[in-house]
Amino acid sequence: MKILEERILREGKVLPGNVLKVGSFINHMIDPTLTDKMGEAFFERFKNEGVTKILTVEASGIAIAYAAARYFGCPMVFAKKTQTSNVNSNVYSAPVKSFTHGKTYNVMVSTDYITHEDTVLCVDDFLAVGNALIGLFSIVEQAGAKLAGAGIAIEKGFQGGGDKLRDKGYRIESLAIIDSMEDCKIVFRH
Ligand code: 5GP
């Protein structure tokens, strides 16, 4: 997606540890126009899959997942990272090792919000080694729902998670795939 790639080149900052900082339009401040276009792009790619729910992880996936849900005309569910009183005890949960913090946390979704009747599209801001998506896919499986695949804003292709999941047969659609960030120079896959 050209406008996303241009924005990454203009405002993205490569941090130590192969982390790309995009705080000015995804992770801290949100650009509603760009976010809306990302939602539309996911709809274009998955519109024939009968998607009934969009699933993401709090917090940075929420805006993009919401934009997608608007186009699909379906609800968006975000997996929670901490147990709260808003989530009853009946939950699907999966451990996810955080790429940026190194800690492992449980992601949880109430059994009320995804069922075996759903077809789920998982959406996230980044795909690195794939742990977050594997956690979301596990939740979809626990619910007995059908998985349409995953829509990702920025995939760091050189970290391998996306291709590993594609090799397993999952449909992973990323709007920008970075093949290298060496010496702070961002190179996209086309
Ligand atoms: P994975 O689980 O695929 O290794 O990493 C994906 C998750 O880690 C995403 O949910 C995202 O929040 C976070 N993440 C991974 N790499 C980056 C990055 O380079 N920049 C930012 N801002 N988040 C990242």
pLDDT digits (tens, 9 = 90+) for 86-111: 555 799 999 999 988 889 999 999 99
How far is the centre of ligand 1, averaged over its atoms, from the C-alpha of 20 (Å)? 9
Other CB atoms closer than 10 Å to residue 41's CB: what's the count? 20
How far is the centre of ligand 1, averaged over its atoms, from the C-alpha of 128 (Å)? 6
Q: Count of residues for the chain?
A: 190
DSSP classification of residue 145: P
The ranges of the chain with pLDDT < 70 are 83-88
The whole-number pLDDT of residue 100 equals 85
Question: What number does the ligand 1 atom closest to the CA of 26 have?
Answer: 22
Q: Answer positive or negative: Cα dihedral of 168, 41, 63, 176.
A: positive
The whole-number pLDDT of residue 87 equals 53
Per CATH, the number for 2-188 is 3.40.50.2020
The whole-number pLDDT of residue 10 equals 98
How far is the centre of ligand 1, averaged over its atoms, from the C-alpha of 127 (Å)? 6
The whole-number pLDDT of residue 82 equals 80
Per DSSP (E only), the strands in the chain are 13-15, 19-21, 53-57, 76-79, 91-97, 104-110, 119-127, 146-156, 172-180, 187-188
CA torsion, ordered 81, 84, 87, 89, to nearest 10 deg = 100
Cβ distance 114 to 51 under 8 Å? Answer: no
Instruction: Please give the Cα distance from 137 to 28 (Å, whole number).
Output: 26
Question: What number does the ligand 1 atom closest to the CA of 161 have?
Answer: 3
Task: Using most ligand atoms within 8 A of CB, pick from 126, 133, 172 the residue to mutate for ligand 1.
Answer: 126
Instruction: Pick the residue whose CA is nearest to atom 16 on ligand 1.
Output: 128
Cβ distance 125 to 64 under 8 Å? Answer: yes
pTM reported for the whole predicted model: 0.96
Residues within 6 Å of ligand 1 by CB: 19-20, 27, 57, 60, 99-100, 124-132, 156, 161
Cβ distance 165 to 185 under 8 Å? Answer: no
What pairing do the DSSP bridges indicate for beta strands 172-180 and 187-188?
antiparallel
The whole-number pLDDT of residue 89 equals 72
